[in-house]
Amino acid sequence: MGIIVQKFGGTSVATAEGRAHLTRKVAEAAKHSDVVVVVSAMGRAPAPYATDTLLGLVDCDRSSAARELDALAACGEIISSVVVTAALRGLGLDAVSLTGAQAGIVTDDCHGQARIVHIDTARLVNHIKAGQIPVVAGFQGINSRGDMTTLGRGGSDTTAAALGAALGADRVEIYTDVTGVMSADPNVVPEARWQDSMTYTELIEMANLGAKVVHLQAVEIAMHSRTPLVIRSTFSDEEGTIVTDMAGKPTAPFAALRPVTAVATTGGRAQLIVEGGNLNVFSAMATNGVSVDMINVFPDRVAFIIAMADLPVARKVIDGLGHKVDVVEGCAKVSIVGEGMRGTPGIMARLATALAEAGVAILQTSDSHYSISCLVKSEQMETAARALHAQFGLGGM
Ligand code: ASP
Ligand code: MG
């Protein structure tokens, strides 16, 4: 029998109703596969065992208490794994709860943002061979000193992907409260629909451009191990979105990739054009911890964008260098994403036409092989996103 890893997020484990759906999904999968379950902490703050609630129990300096905070945060997923194990047993399934350490997950020492370095699957494999369903606490591991570590916020997805890779699973299913990966943020684009398939690269690009779907590292692990990743809802029977290295049904492996599969949006940006600025501007930004994006360098000036929250620091730094800066506050970045746009002529032309027809002014652009981003005024973000969504047929024909 092949192995399926099923990861359930906080909303799926928080309530008895969610757990009833969860146990049904596990029981279904257990009919034809060996199943390993990974769980997140129960609910979101102020729920009593949510990660932020637990972290709020102590008032301390985050950097000096990083080891203790990891031990505290890891409790949320451990509680969840016991509760879910009990629910599965209630249904007659032979489940066993495991901490990340018990599941053999070894990480580096970087508390709060640890990377998995090794997984010793011996114990997991023994449980599976004995016909048991391991329920692993997500988001955590153990370092070489035997201390508890956590994998960064949203890290339970990464636990699931890593276990899938280590066990050679047929697929890793990420269960959440949405039907799948959406073609755009539905709060910005009401016509947004969920996608039935996507490539790893597209999902990584979307995450980098501001869409919060799956923990970035989870997608990277799935991509490198070529494990199919499925994003689907605990609460419905829809298939969800299957993420592989070739979007499209397995029956059509040579189908052309769609040029654009999603629109991503990020608000709260400011554009800076530094007259007479040169490359020393970037060193000064870096020294002061300001992250820059959409970078354009010209002989007589440099242009880039930053988060609005970083604007006071950035202004001070540039004043200190003696440069004049033009700032456009209240900007948003609107991007189209698609692996199939590489080498396809006319995508930029269609983008420009769609935005011009919608009356949106483009302040700056940047692009990669798999995306084109436009900076627009915040009040035009929605118009721009909807125009691009329609132009590339993402809302259906
Ligand atoms: N509970 C952790 C967090 O809130 C990890 C996760 O949910 O994936 O970040
Ligand atoms: Mg999550």
Answer yes or no: CATH 3.30.230.10 is held by domain 3-177: no
> Would you place residue 190 in the very low, low, confident or very high pLDDT band (cuts 50, 70, 90)?
very high
Residues with CB under 5 A from ligand 2 (ion): 154
Q: Is 293 helix (H, G, I), strand (E, B) or coil?
A: strand
> Would you place residue 63 in the very low, low, confident or very high pLDDT band (cuts 50, 70, 90)?
confident
> Would you place residue 250 in the very low, low, confident or very high pLDDT band (cuts 50, 70, 90)?
very low
Q: Is 104 in the pocket of ligand 1 (CB under 6 A)?
A: no
Q: Is 76 in the pocket of ligand 1 (CB under 6 A)?
A: yes
| Six token digits for residue 140 | 């955590």
> Would you place residue 62 in the very low, low, confident or very high pLDDT band (cuts 50, 70, 90)?
confident
Indicate which ligand has the atom closest to the C-alpha of 13.
1
pLDDT at 349 exceeding the cut of 90: yes
Query: What is the structure's pLDDT at 258?
Result: 84
Phi and psi, residue 351, nearest 5°? -60, -50
pLDDT at 387 exceeding the cut of 90: yes
Task: Say which DSSP state 142 is in.
Answer: E
pLDDT at 249 exceeding the cut of 50: no
Domain edges within the chain: 3-177, 262-396
State which ligand 1 atom lies nearest to the alpha carbon of 76.
Answer: 1
Report the nearest-CA residue for atom 5 of ligand 1: 154
Q: Is 339 helix (H, G, I), strand (E, B) or coil?
A: helix
In a mutational test of the pocket of ligand 1, which residue from 51, 53, 212, 216 has the highest number of ligand atoms less than 8 Å from its CB?
51
Q: Is 51 in the pocket of ligand 1 (CB under 6 A)?
A: yes
Count the Cβ atoms, other than its own, within 10 Å of residue 316: 11
Task: Say which DSSP state 182 is in.
Answer: B
Q: Is 155 in the pocket of ligand 1 (CB under 6 A)?
A: yes
Indicate which ligand has the atom closest to the C-alpha of 154.
1
Specify whether the CB–CB gap between 229 and 222 falls below 8 A: yes
Residue from 315, 277, 317, 272 nearest 293 by CA: 272
> Would you place residue 275 in the very low, low, confident or very high pLDDT band (cuts 50, 70, 90)?
very high
Kindly state the average pLDDT of the residues 3-28.
97
Distance 9 CA to ligand 2 centre (A): 6
| Helical ranges in the chain per DSSP H | 10-14, 16-30, 51-55, 66-90, 122-129, 156-167, 200-208, 216-225, 280-287, 311-321, 347-357, 381-391
Q: Is 81 in the pocket of ligand 1 (CB under 6 A)?
A: no
Which of 8-22, 112-126, 159-173, 272-286 shows the lowest per-residue confidence on average (mean pLDDT)?
A: 272-286
Looking at 1.20.120.1690, 3.20.20.70, 3.40.50.970, 3.30.2130.10, the CATH number of the domain 262-396 comes to 3.30.2130.10
Kindly state the average pLDDT of the residues 207-229.
93
